[in-house]
Amino acid sequence: MCGIFGYVGPHAGVELLVENLKRLEYRGYDSWGVCLGVGGALELHRRAGRLSSGDMPEQLRGADTCWGGIAHTRWATHGAPNQRNAHPHVDCTGRLAVVHNGIIENHAALRETLKQEGHCFESETDTEVIAHLIEEGLREGADLRSAFLDALKLLEGTYGVGVVLADRPGLILVARHGSPMVIGAGRGETLVASDPAALVARTRDVVYLDDGEAALLSADGFETCDLTAAPTNKVIERIKFDLPAIEKGGYPHFMLKEIFEQPDTIRNAFRGRVLREEGTAKLGGIEPSLLRRVRRCHILACGTSWHAGLVGKYLLENLARVPTQVSYAAEFRYASPVIEPGTLVIAISQSGETADTLAGVREARLRGADAIGICNVVGSTIARECGQGVYIHAGPEIGVASTKAFTGQIVVLLLLAIHIGRMRGMPLREALRYLDAIERLPQQAEQALACNGDVKRVALEYADRPNFLYIGRLYEYPLALEGALKLKEISYIHAEGIPAAELKHGPIALVEPRMPTVVLGAQEGILDKMLSNVQEIRARGGSIIALAREGDRRLPELAEQTITVPAVADPLVPVLATIPLQLLAYHIAVERGCDVDKPRNLAKSVTVE
Ligand code: G6P
């Protein structure tokens, strides 16, 4: 949530800051700002609205004494998304500027104390206290590093923070506590960002700061230390993706590109992990002994990842016979959860940074659970905090609405369920049947994508409807939730996902001719029951958009519109059937003129509670 970019080196200038900041806009996009260090002065430019809206700071262009700067794109927490609250924030002198991601929970108390000490505040943000705290330390005679570290020690909450000072040209201070900061080690230049996506255009050599670490950056390099100023040792890591992975590559939107990447990303999720001889999956990031002692699983996640978790519950219970519970991470952490011995917590998170999921993992481990992560972003906080887990390797996901991460998560959950299932007596022949089916998924995902034209036609016909219902059973119930979420997120149409049998316990009262119901009917095992539900909707004049299994004639006969998906074993249906749902939401949103990649009020990576 929010994006930070900083640079110090010979190519400093507003163009460089803005160009790289744009790559972080998916993390927050309600206002933005840059602060350039120009000689012994700071130049500040802040704006409400989106960076990509073309409002460029003309007066800052071409300053050749510019040595570097910091930049920020915001997702508002404290204070409206206007120019005054946009970062960077300055101290009373205007000679020290701060950008910040996260939330300072004790900001109100700090603000009061600082005001009593004579500090004047300009914004309503929690961030501004950081600038004044450092200023106060400097006023009291501390050297810059101590003033910075002492200020950090007073903060409660989370931060990724960057600071520049007019009086210290060529220096950027950064620190991290609960909000990612990555340093890029360039040639004769040093960069910093809240996400490696903003670094990759200039360097692939990066260092991930840990919580409780700070760093001083100059064009020649960087020094890291803990909050007591003791130096810390860091290892330079290589970013594995390249620039095209974070560009649209000819697609009109990242979301569409990412939907169409799924044949590859599904393959990446199982590549090198299918062990045919033993009929199991190779999950090198998890200790085998950990999985052998599993008595129950508890999945923690938010948003789309939580929907993948619901699919995971069915997979782990059906294939591995492990009792599994799924919790919204935020509910789990405050609900005084009971963790029985032998519980394996599985944290699912595309970004690996979601604050509630991270806190859920910490809570579960405090209560004695083992935890593994299923993450996309390599080196992310949840992945590192769990220590063990499986990456889905979907590559950077930029569209705010998650698509390819969802199918990657399900593929990994399938592998995990087969792996644990084999340890608990799943017959070899059954495992091989699933593994074969998994290996066919990329090609079937291509076939599923071929429905794009049909889905677009349906989308154009229904784009003006104010409400949608989505129904499904078993493996398709989480898909009903996910289909409805996709539509809500990007088209702002109200949509509800419902277990099909629950329809008659209330939601069927909503059914009337203008109410479309998307019926997920691609599973073979439960089709008869779904058909009964469809009849109930038809009897009340509702219109049906059916997602049917290839070869099925019965469901299409009852529907106004049918989209078909390749026939697969029921546990694999969620991987393929989600593709038309993503496309449906996409085309409806485009038809309604919505900003698909940056839906209003949302952000990609939710690092606040
Ligand atoms: C945000 C995103 C969703 C995502 C959720 C969980 O709300 O907009 O697309 O599903 O966070 O994110 P995570 O990174 O933990 O999967």
pLDDT at 85 over 80: yes
Residue with CA closest to ligand 1 atom 1: 604
In the prediction, which pLDDT does 111 show?
Answer: 97
- Whether the pLDDT of residue 134 is over 60: the answer is yes
CA-to-CA distance for 206 and 128, rounded, in angstroms? 28
- Which one of 15-19, 74-78, 407-411 scores highest in mean pLDDT? 407-411
Element spanning 436, H or E? helix 428-449
* Residue located nearest, by CA, to atom 5 of ligand 1: 303
- Give the mean model confidence (pLDDT) for residues 411-428: 97
pLDDT at 62 > cutoff 60? no
pLDDT at 61 over 60: no
441-461: pLDDT as tens digits: 999 999 999 999 999 999 999
166 alpha carbon – ligand 1 mean position (Å):
38
211-225, 256-270, 498-512: the lowest-pLDDT one: 498-512
Q: Which residue of the set 2, 375, 451, 594 is catalytic?
A: 2
Residue 595 predicted with pLDDT over 90: yes
Q: What atom of ligand 1 comes closest to residue 382's alpha carbon?
A: 15
Q: What is the pLDDT of residue 58?
A: 60
Q: What is the DSSP letter of 58?
A: G
Please tell me the distance from the alpha carbon of residue 405 to that of residue 575, in angstroms, as a whole number: 11
Query: SS3 string of 474-509?
Result: CCHHHHHHHHHHHHHHHHCCEEEEEEHHHHHHCHHH
Q: How far apart are CA 589 and CA 459, in angstroms?
A: 9
344 phi-psi bin (left φ>0, alpha ψ -120 to 50, beta other): beta
- Would you tell me how many other CB atoms lie within 10 Å of the CB of residue 175? 27
Using 50, 70 and 90 to split pLDDT, how confident is the model at 57?
Answer: low
The answer on pLDDT for 19 being more than 70 is yes
Return the closest-CA partner of residue 108 out of 120, 96, 125. Answer: 125
**For the chain, first and last CA: distance in Å?**
11
CA of 603 to the centre of ligand 1 (A): 8
Please give the distance, rounded to the nearest whole angstrom, from the Cα atom of residue 517 to the centre of ligand 1. Answer: 25
Please state, rounded to an integer, the average pLDDT across all residues of the chain: 94
pLDDT over 90 at 291, yes or no: yes
Q: What is the 3-state secondary structure (H, E, C) of 496-552?
A: EEEEHHHHHHCHHHHCCCCCEEEEEECCCCCHHHHHHHHHHHHHCCCEEEEEEECCC
Please report the pLDDT score of residue 56 as a whole number. 62
Mutate to test the pocket of ligand 1, among 259, 404, 488, 604 (most ligand atoms within 8 A of CB): 604
What is the 8-class DSSP label of residue 341? T
Distance CA 397, CA 25 (A): 13
Q: Give me ligand 1 centre to Cα 304, in Å.
A: 6
Provide mean pLDDT across the span 217-246.
Answer: 94
Q: Identify the DSSP state of 60.
A: G
Query: How confident is residue 53, by pLDDT bands cut at 50, 70 and 90?
Result: low
| Cα angle: 347, vertex 214, 13; to 5 degrees | 100
Q: CA 515 to CA 467: how far, in whole Å?
A: 6
Cβ-based burial of 468 (10 A; exposed 0-12, middle 13-18, buried ≥19) = buried
Instruction: Give this prediction's pTM.
Output: 0.89
Q: Does 394 have pLDDT greater than 90?
A: yes
pLDDT band (50, 70, 90) for residue 163? very high
Which residues have a Cβ under 8 Å from the Cβ of 436 and sit 6 or more positions away? none
Q: Which residues line ligand 1 (CB under 6 A)?
A: 302-305, 349-351, 354, 357, 400-402, 602, 604-606
